Amino acid sequence: MELLSNLALGFSVATSLENLMFCLIGALLGTLIGVLPGIGATATIAMLLPITFQLEPVSSLIMLAGIYYGAQYGGSTTAILLNLPGESSSAVTALDGYQMARKGRAGVALAVAALGSFFAGSVSTLLVAIFAPPLTAIALKFGSAEYFSLMVLGLVMSIVLAHGSIVKAMAMVVLGLLLGCVGTDIYTGAPRFTMGITNYADGLNFVALAVGVFGIAEILRNLEDEGGEREVMTKNVTNLMPTRKDFRDMVGPVLRGTGLGSLLGILPGGGAILASFASYTVEKKLSKHPEEFGKGAIAGVAGPESANNAGAQTSFIPLLTLGIPANPVMALMIGAMIIQGIVPGPNVVSEQPDLFWGIIASMWIGNLMLVVLNLPLIGLWVRLLTVPYYILFPIIMAMCSIGVYSVNSNVYDLYAVAFFGFLGYVMYKLRFEPAPLLLGFVLGPLLEENLRRAMILSRGDPTTFVTRPISLTLLLMSLAVLIVVFLPAIRKSRDEVFVESEG
Amino acid sequence: MYSFTRRVALGMALAVGVAGAALAEFPDRQVTLVIPFAAGGSTDVVGRIVADKMGENLGQQIIVQNVGGAGGSLGAGQVAQADPDGYTILMGTVATHALNPLILKQKPYDPVEDFAPISLLVLVPNVLAVNPELPVNTVQELIDLAKSDPSLAYASSGNGTPLHLSGALFNSMAGTEITHIPYKGSGPALTDVLGNQVPVIFDNLPSASGHIQSGQLRALGVTTAERAPSFPDVPAIAETLPGYETYTWNALFAPAGTPPEVVARLNEAAVAAMQDPAVIERMAEFSAQIVGSTPEELAEHVSAEMAKWEPVVTEANVSLD
């Protein structure tokens, strides 16, 4: 009953006219920046931070949170329409979402993404409200050894389920791991592969890499055969809304994606990144038609989209209950709280219940606003594809450049976009897939950081990975996945998780 | 033409002794404050609070630009090379103006030659804290435990950061060998200490204060010479290890060659901002101690800090390429 009264308090705060307005502004802004390729939530929140000085703490946090999950919604729009993921989570959506768009089902893909995200957002918001403290306890049990084993599991899943050529997929994962090594070694301070350029001291920028290998490469590809393929996308638009069959196909993936995303989202430091990849892998394994994945499978959009939105909501748990940021956006939110004179930490729940519950209630309201806003907009977004490409692509290029630059105000990130755009094009020509590269790039540094930290903490004793129960379980799961794959009979059904387009 | 007339005006002003004419000129457009760290950190928060007030005092908006990377060196290097006109200034810290120059083999800038000091704004204490499950309540007990248990480790926000070196100084003064575990920033380091993956942490007092108040962290001592006013019950480490003193500080710098009257105008605005009641209140919540020094005092402070940290850096054997 306490929960009900808490929620009632939350809704009374969140439904004040002022806070509803800020929630709407946040959700709108978030959708907008999510739709503009390259401009991420981090940069936007950083730019808006000073404005929040003048607002009430609750209002400012409601608005910033709205930008964050709004961007998750918006980000999938460009991933589906233009093959341009702005965040690691929407990279997976691009795989099947873009293929759906090419088949004229862009509207359906967008609707599935929006509905899946709404469902996941509602469920995980409720989870945050009920289970925040116990879930925090689980998150704290994850030490370096556990993270290492989790990353191993993630990499194993990515390799064994990759597209036809396992060797090529592994090569891409390894290339990603190597690219992830660029930057200062956090243990010794030695710069690695920076070519003496101080601007790469903190490593390559994920957004630059993703925009390059997906977005710019896609533009180069489209320019090559301009006029041919793209027309298909708009001429064959059959229906904007999902059919009854589509709904049936998305129920399972949405439910599983929500579960996976909610769980992985609470892990600070990389958990949420795995959510959409993991969901895609699971859906493909469970599917009766795994061959459809990578060619526009509806489950390949519904699952990961639900997972990433659920993860986005539950990543608020460590922030609200511990004052610990799970990702750079959460770090900014902490900054916003400190500026407002709120000390982030476990006391926020008890000392500022209106703030805590107000934010939670606003998250649900915000999700509702997003789905109401976005469903009617789908027709508009799809019409965007009718814009002639010679007008569209310079705009995309300009937006990407502005977006990437805005992350760190670092020109070298733009050089990286150009380089990876070219690399992505070459990879496409040689039929290498960019998704494993991206996963390797994201997981590699986490894998190394945690491996070395666990080894230092255990004073060089590698048994630390098998004597800790959670770590052992994760490693056994990795082993199980490997065994399953290398059994020849099952190997035949090994499918294409990371299929890029064949065209 | 513009710079010519300005130079003439300046010369005349100096000759006649009417500095007011030159002062009135600056600032005639917005000023950019470069913060050499990502948004949301403690330097960023201090910077934004001060920038807001300083802008009011200058009658021009101060735009905050976060240029993070390479432990602050990127942003500081950028300001060192900016036009010395007072329109680009830096929020410097102990990292950019003492530690990095000592640690980096390849020096992107000279902390003394390349900058015109404006004002030392605040001192921010660091704190030595442990997970409450670690059976120690005082600094002395921690030293005893460290001597009997060589596997003890402490977390910090990264290699070569003030917090790492606070630990290194502690080890060297206490004769202990607590292992250093670097993280990518204070957040993940805190997480692992709260989860008792690592038992000990050196952290900025502002970032740890919420956890100390709630009892999730046990503060053993603050790193300043005196106790922090916001935590009067937490002793100073110096009470156990006499002479131990470290803190993080924030100070404004302009590029070297900025005209003295422009520096004076910026100093005046900064010092006035630090005396504003709202700023004082915010800084107190933040456990930051207000200074608001003159440019000369800041110059002395930088040399004193470099002299203090050099032996620690050498002894801890930290060097980055």
Q: Provide the pairing of β-strand B218-222 with B115-130.
A: antiparallel
- What's the rounded Cα separation, in Å, for the pair A476 and A345? 35
Q: Where are the alpha helices (DSSP H) in A225-352?
A: 229-235, 244-265, 271-286, 299-314, 316-322, 328-339, 347-351
User: From residue A134, how far is each of A20, A137, A139, A141, A318 by CA, in Å?
Assistant: 30, 5, 9, 11, 11
Do residues A118 and A368 touch, judged by C-beta distance below 8 A? Answer: yes
**Is B22's pLDDT higher than 50?**
no
Q: Using 50, 70 and 90 to split pLDDT, how confident is the model at B15?
A: very low
Which of A213-217, A324-328, B197-201 is the most confident on average? B197-201
Look up residue B148 and give its two tokens. Answer: 């009997």
Tell me if A140 and B103 make a contact (CB, 8 A cut-off): no
Tell me if A339 and B48 make a contact (CB, 8 A cut-off): yes
Compute the Cα dihedral for A410, B45, A269, A85 and give only its sign.
Answer: negative
The mean per-residue pLDDT over the stretch B61-90 comes to 88
A456 contact residues in B (CB cutoff 8 A): 153, 179, 181
Tell me if A49 and B39 make a contact (CB, 8 A cut-off): yes
How many A-B residue pairs are in contact by the CB < 8 A criterion? Answer: 142
Choose the mutation target among B62, B67, B192 for the interface with A, i.e. most A CBs under 10 Å.
Answer: B192
* Residue among A335, A346, A457 whose CB faces B39 most closely: A335
* Residue among B40, B153, B196 whose CB faces A335 most closely: B40
The CATH topology of domain B125-239 is D-Maltodextrin-Binding Protein; domain 2 (3.40.190)
Residue A293 lies in a domain: yes
What is the reported pLDDT for A243? 82
Judged by DSSP in three states, A497 sits in coil
Checking A477-485 for CB contacts under 8 A at 24+ apart, the result is A477/A153, A478/A149, A478/A152, A478/A153, A478/A156, A481/A153, A481/A156, A481/A157, A481/A160, A482/A156, A482/A160, A484/A160, A485/A160, A485/A161
Judged by DSSP in three states, A57 sits in helix
* CB contact burial A168-202 (16+ within 10 A = b; e otherwise): bbbebbebbbebbebbbbbbebebeebeeebbbbb
Degrees, nearest 5: CA angle B139-B141-B145 = 120
Q: What is the DSSP letter of A496?
A: -
What amino acid occupies position B144? D
Do residues A371 and A113 touch, judged by C-beta distance below 8 A? Answer: no
ipTM: 0.77
> How much is the mean pLDDT over chain B?
86
B39 contact residues in A (CB cutoff 8 A): 45-46, 49, 332, 335
Cα B272 to its chain centre, rounded Å, is: 20
One fold for B2-10+22-122+249-310 and B125-239: yes
**Is B144's pLDDT higher than 80?**
yes
End-to-end CA distance of chain A: 57
CA atoms within 13 A on the CB side of B207: 32
- What's the rounded Cα separation, in Å, for the pair B187 and B185? 6
Choose the mutation target among B197, B209, B286 for the interface with A, i.e. most A CBs under 10 Å.
Answer: B197
Tell me if A456 and B158 make a contact (CB, 8 A cut-off): no
Please state the domain extents for chain B.
2-10+22-122+249-310, 125-239
Do residues B121 and B94 touch, judged by C-beta distance below 8 A? Answer: no
Q: What is the pLDDT of residues A168-206, one digit of tens each?
A: 888 888 998 899 899 888 887 778 888 878 778 778 887
What is the reported pLDDT for A162? 61
The mean per-residue pLDDT over the stretch B227-244 comes to 93
Nearest chain A residue (CA) to B107: A198
Nearest chain A residue (CA) to B48: A50
Tell me if A184 and B194 make a contact (CB, 8 A cut-off): no
Tell me if B48 and A50 make a contact (CB, 8 A cut-off): yes
A43 contact residues in B (CB cutoff 8 A): none
Look up residue A358 and give its two tokens. Answer: 């107000």
A189 contact residues in B (CB cutoff 8 A): 103, 159-160, 318-321
Phi, psi of A119 (to 5 degrees): -60, -50
Choose the mutation target among A142, A149, A184, A411 for the interface with B, i.e. most B CBs under 10 Å.
Answer: A184
**Is A232's pLDDT higher than 50?**
no
Nearest chain A residue (CA) to B46: A339
Q: Using 50, 70 and 90 to split pLDDT, how confident is the model at A393?
A: confident
Q: Which residues share a beta bridge with A233?
A: none
Q: Using 50, 70 and 90 to split pLDDT, how confident is the model at A95?
A: confident
Do residues B249 and B122 touch, judged by C-beta distance below 8 A? Answer: yes
- What's the rounded Cα separation, in Å, for the pair B318 and A372? 55
Q: A352: distance to nearest CA of chain B, Å?
A: 13
**Is B315's pLDDT higher than 90?**
no
* pTM recorded for the entire structure: 0.79
Cα A103 to its chain centre, rounded Å, is: 24
Higher pLDDT, A490 or B100: B100
A198 contact residues in B (CB cutoff 8 A): 69-70, 73-74, 77, 108
Instruction: Give the Cβ contact number of residue B11 at 10 Å.
Output: 11
Residue A66 lies in a domain: yes
Do residues B203 and B225 touch, judged by C-beta distance below 8 A? Answer: no
Which of A310-319, A363-372, A389-398, B100-109 is the most confident on average? A363-372
Query: Which helix (H) or strand (E) segment is A452 a member of?
Result: helix A434-457
| Range with lowest mean pLDDT among A108-122, A262-276, A370-384 | A262-276
The domain total for chain A is: 1
* Residue among A49, A199, A343 whose CB faces B74 most closely: A199
Checking A161-165 for CB contacts under 8 A at 24+ apart, the result is A161/A281, A161/A284, A161/A285, A161/A485, A161/A494, A161/A495, A161/A497, A161/A498, A162/A433, A162/A436, A162/A496, A162/A497, A162/A498, A163/A294, A163/A433, A163/A496, A163/A497, A163/A498, A163/A499, A163/A500, A164/A496, A165/A431
What is the reported pLDDT for A231? 47
**Is B297's pLDDT higher than 90?**
yes
Q: Using 50, 70 and 90 to split pLDDT, how confident is the model at B2?
A: very low
A141 contact residues in B (CB cutoff 8 A): 195
What is the reported pLDDT for B287? 85
- What's the rounded Cα separation, in Å, for the pair A29 and A35? 10
* Residue among A202, A324, A341 whose CB faces B282 most closely: A341
The CATH topology of domain B2-10+22-122+249-310 is D-Maltodextrin-Binding Protein; domain 2 (3.40.190)
- What's the rounded Cα separation, in Å, for the pair A41 and A74? 10
Look up residue B235 and give its two tokens. Answer: 């002793």
* CB contact burial A118-129 (16+ within 10 A = b; e otherwise): bbbbbbbbbbbb
Alpha carbon dihedral B237, B240, B245, B250, in 10-degree steps, equals: 10
Tell me if B108 and A323 make a contact (CB, 8 A cut-off): no
- What's the rounded Cα separation, in Å, for the pair A385 and B318? 55
- What's the rounded Cα separation, in Å, for the pair B107 and B165? 19
Phi, psi of B198 (to 5 degrees): -130, 130
**Is B17's pLDDT higher than 80?**
no
Tell me if B191 and A318 make a contact (CB, 8 A cut-off): yes
Residue A502 lies in a domain: no
Look up residue A138 and give its two tokens. Answer: 């689980």
A186 contact residues in B (CB cutoff 8 A): 158-159, 182-184
User: From residue B218, how far is each of A318, B97, B210, B285 by CA, in Å?
Assistant: 20, 31, 11, 19
* Residue among B159, B190, B282 whose CB faces A189 most closely: B159
Tell me if B198 and A457 make a contact (CB, 8 A cut-off): yes
* Full domain range(s) for residue A168: 2-491
What is the reported pLDDT for B24? 55
Nearest chain A residue (CA) to B178: A457
Tell me if A334 and B187 make a contact (CB, 8 A cut-off): yes
Nearest chain B residue (CA) to A196: B321
Residue with tokens 């690399």: A423
